[in-house]
Amino acid sequence: MIKVCVCVCVCVCVCKMVVYRFLGVGGPVLVTGLIPRFSARFYNNLTNNNNNNNNNKLKNKNPVRSVSGLRDATHTLSTHTHSGSVCVAEREVRVRFAPSPTGFLHLGGLRTALYNFLFAKQHGGTFILRLEDTDQSRIVHGAAQDIEHTLEWAGIPPDESASRGGVYGPYVQSERLSLYSAAAASLIESGHAYYCFCTNHRLELLKKEALHRGQTPRYDNRCRHLHADQVQENLAQGKPHAIRFGLHAEAEPFEDLVFGWTGHAVGEVEGDPVILKNDGFPTYHLANVVDDAHMHVSHVLRGAEWLTSTCKHLQLYRALRTTPPTYAHLPLLLNPDGTKLSKRQGDIYISHFRQQGALPEALLDLITNCGSGFNSNRIGRNLNELISEFNVSKIVTHSAVLDLRKLPEFNRVHLQQRIEDGLQCRLLVDEVKNLLTLTYNDLIQERDVLDHNYILRVLHMRKRHISSVKDLVSPVYSYLWLRPSVSWQQLEEMSSESHDIIAHVMLVIKGRNGEYTPEFLTAELKLIAKTLKKTKYSSVMKILRLALTGQQQGPSVGEIMVSLGEDEVCCRLQRILEA
């Protein structure tokens, strides 16, 4: 299969088509814009198939009319096609992230949203957030708000959504029911759909029988063959009914941007699917097709679990006489042990990572690094770099392994980038201040550790070592904010020369000539160690670390001294000498 990189130039596309034709290739495989072509044979089959269907007294009366609210397919095709292919530049890129508000946003959802966002921004397009809430029984309170807020937090807000509005709203499916019923009525009218009066009891029996025979349960399409009079009688009697779409046996192949040419003979293996339920709500199949068409969605980037359903959706587009979008199915996200990343694990929700201090850019970087869609993988890409480097043709079909153990390292790299950015760092200082107030409350009395420049210095000293600002309020860094209580006896036990060491260090600090860096201090401490008779350099470090921090481990003594500042170091050492 030929894959051509995202084409934004009409001329290039046309040239490539000429080359492929010259080579005798069936057609150019333009990754971003192919409109599946429906052969005359396929369409004839479709029509013949429905000629057998008596479940529609109005069939063929107006078979080519477009559905209310949907694009006129003839117009779209005539303005956008070159032998069936279309380039990105010719069609406004509009993509959507369409989650169900049946749970809070998790890593898998964030990745799908991100890939849509990247694709939209790369092509100057529009990123839509649509809530698919037609399964009202599974809606989780607050999930809809969580999804949009989380996208905003992650820095990938939608351009059109329920809260932001847009030209093609409403952006919540339960508020669009009239569109689906109009589409279903139109499909009945054109003979592509039919009323199904089967009771739940009958459907259950069908299922049981199939399972008993060791077969996959499927609807037997019985109501497709009901006589028109029977249908009218049932409707007149007010019998409960659903509306089913009549699938065709033939699989019309389509080109998926990730999986290549794909075709599934859904009509051969599945029964006709319900498109409008008894309660007037659509199923996913109808709702996503009607909405994507109505919202002029040009490209659908969604989970690979929908790949086999796409043939069904393309049949629906065909029947509705509207242009389907181009599809790109994204492979699954897996745990390192190969198991599916499950929402039930709890710790894959974005709110969990947020609470843990994860930076949004680190999460985005991690979920794109573990998968594909880029020429190369590297740590530290920011959102602008993700947009410019994203390459949909580089997405591979095999599942992506997400190793969350790498998150602290990604967070560390991105935290360092924030610390090195003046404006962002100011916000971090405020965050540390808040954390300090929350963590130590009244304990901070002895000096002004909440000083902006002091926190700023600490952040810069520790930027290569901390993966979250929360680390700074953990016990190992408590010495930065509280004076330790160290007794003279503790130091005496370590070396009888402790007094000399401390006195020496204070002399160095007071006698230095403006220089106060970890390197300068380390060199001076080495010189002090050389003058001692009984204490090695490593022990000198241990004594000073204990004196200054009350701890036996931590950063280098030179760094500790610079972080605390010369006055505070002298103050702490003086207190020990006087103790």
**Closest CB 287 distance from Zn ion, rounded Å:** 21
**Helix (H/G/I), strand (E/B), else coil: 576:** helix
**260-262/274-276 β-pairing:** unpaired
Distance CA 78, CA 46 (A): 22
d(CA 219, CA 211): 13
Is the CB of 196 or the CB of 521 nearer to Zn ion?
196
Taking the complex as a whole, the smallest distance from the CB of residue 247 to Zn ion amounts, in Å, to 14
CB of 55 to Zn ion, least distance (A): 9
Please identify, using beta-carbon distances, which residue of 28 and 246 lies nearer to Zn ion: 246
Min separation Cβ 188 and Zn ion, Å: 14
> Alpha carbon of 334 to those of 304, 339, 370, 372, 403: distances in Å?
13, 6, 10, 13, 9
End-to-end CA distance of the chain: 80
Q: How many Cα atoms within 13 Å fall on the side-chain side of residue 368?
A: 31
The whole-angstrom separation of Cα 548 and Cα 561 is 8
Binding residues (CB under 5 A) for Zn ion: these are 196, 198, 223
For residue 23, what are the contacts with CB-CB under 8 A and spacing of at least 6? Answer: none
CB of 232 to Zn ion, least distance (A): 16
CB of 57 to Zn ion, least distance (A): 17
Q: Choose between 77 and 203: whose C-beta lies nearer to Zn ion.
A: 203
CA distance 30 to 86: 8
273 vs 558, which CB is nearer to Zn ion? 273
Q: Which residues are bridge partners to 390 per DSSP?
A: 374
- On whether the CB atoms of residues 242 and 277 are closer than 8 A, the answer is yes
Q: Which C-beta is closer to Zn ion: that of 203 or that of 482?
A: 203
Q: Which is nearer to Zn ion, 183 or 198 (CB)?
A: 198
Least Å distance, CB 197 to Zn ion, is 6
Instruction: State the Cα–Cα distance between residues 183 and 360, nearest whole angstrom.
Output: 40
Amino acid in position 94: R
Backbone φ, ψ for residue 7 (5° rounding): -105, 120
- The residue among 47 and 234 lying less far from Zn ion, judged by its C-beta, is 234
Smallest distance from the beta carbon of 242 to Zn ion, in angstroms? 8
Q: Residue 196 or 257: which CB sits closer to Zn ion?
A: 196
DSSP category for residue 279: T
